[in-house]
Amino acid sequence: MSANYTNPETVVLHTGHRSDDVTGAVAVPIYQTTSFQFNDTQHAENLFALKELGNIYTRIMNPTQDTLEQRVAALEGGVAGLALSSGQSASMFAVMNLCRAGDNFVSSTDLYGGTWNLFANTMKDFGVECRFVDPSDPESFRKATDDKTRCYYAETLPNPKLNVFPIKEVADIGREIGVPLIMDNTAAPVICRPLDHGAAVVMYSTTKYIGGHGTSIGGLLVDGGNFDWEAHGDRFPTLNQPDASYHGAVWTEAVKPLGPIAYILRARVILLRDVGAATTPFNAFQTIQGLETLPLRMREHCANAEKVVDYLNGHDKIENVIFPGLQDGEPRRRADTYLNGTYGALVGFELKGGKEAGRKFIDSLQMLYHVANIGDARSLAIHPASTTHSQLSADEQEQTGVTDGYIRLSIGIEHIDDIIADLDQALAQA
């Protein structure tokens, strides 16, 4: 048993696991097993009929995953979580839990490239249309909505532009029409809780800050339990109509004894059961190790990022520094509203010397890693024009906010003097 903690620093250490019932182990054990012995036939029948929730088979649930799910759900102020094999599977599940062929959803254009591909191409091949809209205008979500629109989707702190998404503004529009907002909060755990601002579901790539040590790919969904799926019955057939693949269960009805978990229960017992994008107990364990120090690390990440920005701003080889704390007008207001007094730990800058200077800068780094990742405890850098965005045309690059001399930094938790010293010597070469 564990108490109902709400402070993030305590939640990540204590929610969902006190000690192992049999051995007393304090660290969350790795339950490396495929299957779980039933007490008797009645117990087995109850579990399959969802009269009782419990472990059956690790593709569907597992006690190590369960602790991770409970902790992230509590951190977000949600009712339940679902750990998955990657952030990509989490974004896929988030949308496909509500959409069937012929349906559509509306997404911000400011997305991680992998999510963009999934939404624009793979989902389209599945018969689900993604309508991309400009996130600087919340009303664009309303305009793109019709009777077949099942959800809205956006990232809290999307790079490279680092314009914070208008969470409450779009969530409010959605709630007026009856459309839930799903937020990818990968770049802003702890510093932003999208459910507090009206989002219905939070999605994570735990690969980044939550895992924090760059060891394990993972994804996670949190159900806010705050969206009335039944009030908009026709819009959500997957939750309100009999499900042929589970003896005609109507999920909003079936969960009544269990709480407002229709969305996440269906994602588990239908999508995870059928698609099988389960994370492993070992990766869940690794992610828990990261999660246990997440609030502490986020403070260091964000404080270091501010100091890096102070150093970069005004450097004679730099045209422009991109950071929410340097913005003004509406983007700055959103950063101040949603990031809880911080500006995150992603920093962009444009080198005056363009592509050549960008390459030289990256090739000169000695401590910062040159990798296509963010959110590691180590500081990371990439030159998008020659890597992640190299397949885009010059026009497309500009639309996404990538210029020839743009460098993306993910600031880690090393000593600030060492981070700045490495940037300084690499800039001298650029």
| Shortest distance, position 182 Cβ to ligand PLP, whole Å | 12
Closest by alpha carbon to 266, among 25, 82, 51? Answer: 82
Say whether residue 114 binds ligand PLP (CB under 6 A).
Answer: yes
Say whether residue 376 binds ligand PLP (CB under 6 A).
Answer: no
One character per residue 132-161, x = contact with ligand PLP (rule: CB under 6 A): -----------------------x------
- Which three-class secondary structure state does DSSP give residue 153? strand
| Shortest distance, position 421 Cβ to ligand PLP, whole Å | 27
Say whether residue 108 binds ligand PLP (CB under 6 A).
Answer: no
Which residues, in sequence order, are bridge partners of residue 83? Answer: 220
- 58, 205, 216, 388: residue in contact with ligand PLP (rule CB under 6 A): 205
Total residues contacting ligand PLP by CB under 6 A comes to 15
Give the whole-angstrom CA distance, residue 94 versus residue 271: 10
Which one, 55 or 115, has the nearer CB to ligand PLP? Answer: 115
| Shortest distance, position 159 Cβ to ligand PLP, whole Å | 8
Give the whole-angstrom CA distance, residue 98 versus residue 104: 10
Give the whole-angstrom CA distance, residue 285 versus residue 256: 31
Give the whole-angstrom CA distance, residue 371 versus residue 365: 12
Say whether residue 87 binds ligand PLP (CB under 6 A).
Answer: yes
Query: What are the φ and ψ backbone dihedral angles of 407, each rounded to 5 degrees?
Result: -120, 135
Structure-block tokens of residue 146: 């019709």
72-82 burial, b if ≥16 CB within 10 A, otherwise e?
bbbbbbbbbbb
Give the whole-angstrom CA distance, residue 72 versus residue 82: 9
Give the whole-angstrom CA distance, residue 410 versus residue 156: 16
Say whether residue 342 binds ligand PLP (CB under 6 A).
Answer: no
Element holding 283 (H helix, E strand) = helix 281-291
Say whether residue 29 binds ligand PLP (CB under 6 A).
Answer: no
Say whether residue 186 binds ligand PLP (CB under 6 A).
Answer: yes
Count of CB atoms within 10 A of residue 390's CB?
11
One character per residue 229-258, x = contact with ligand PLP (rule: CB under 6 A): ------------------------------
Give the whole-angstrom CA distance, residue 201 versus residue 232: 17
Which one, 306 or 376, has the nearer CB to ligand PLP? Answer: 376
Residue with tokens 């959500």: 236
- 16, 189, 219, 405: residue in contact with ligand PLP (rule CB under 6 A): 219
| Shortest distance, position 51 Cβ to ligand PLP, whole Å | 34
Which one, 200 or 254, has the nearer CB to ligand PLP? Answer: 200
| Shortest distance, position 165 Cβ to ligand PLP, whole Å | 11
- 217, 258, 326, 392: residue in contact with ligand PLP (rule CB under 6 A): 217
Say whether residue 286 binds ligand PLP (CB under 6 A).
Answer: no
* Structural contact between residues 287 and 65, judged by C-beta atoms closer than 8 angstroms: no
Element holding 142 (H helix, E strand) = helix 139-143
Contact range with ligand PLP by CB under 6 A, out of 182-190, 278-286, 321-329, 405-413: 182-190
Structure-block tokens of residue 383: 């030159």
Say whether residue 86 binds ligand PLP (CB under 6 A).
Answer: yes
Say whether residue 115 binds ligand PLP (CB under 6 A).
Answer: yes
- 88, 107, 279, 327: residue in contact with ligand PLP (rule CB under 6 A): 88
In one-letter notation, the amino acid at residue 80 is: A
Contact range with ligand PLP by CB under 6 A, out of 49-57, 68-76, 108-116, 238-246: 108-116
Contact range with ligand PLP by CB under 6 A, out of 55-63, 111-119, 287-295, 399-407: 111-119
| Shortest distance, position 94 Cβ to ligand PLP, whole Å | 11
* Structural contact between residues 238 and 24, judged by C-beta atoms closer than 8 angstroms: no
| Shortest distance, position 160 Cβ to ligand PLP, whole Å | 11
Kindly report the CA angle at 217 between 105 and 84, in degrees rounded to 5?
Answer: 50
| Shortest distance, position 288 Cβ to ligand PLP, whole Å | 16
56 burial (CB, 10 Å; 0-12 / 13-18 / 19+) is middle
Cα-Cα-Cα-Cα dihedral sign, residues 340, 342, 345, 348? positive
Which one, 55 or 283, has the nearer CB to ligand PLP? Answer: 283
Which one, 75 or 262, has the nearer CB to ligand PLP? Answer: 75
Paired sense of beta strands 149-155 and 181-184, if any? parallel
Which one, 114 or 331, has the nearer CB to ligand PLP? Answer: 114
Cα 266 from chain centroid? 19
Which positions touch ligand PLP (CB under 6 A)? Answer: 86-88, 112, 114-115, 155, 184, 186-187, 205, 207, 217, 219, 374
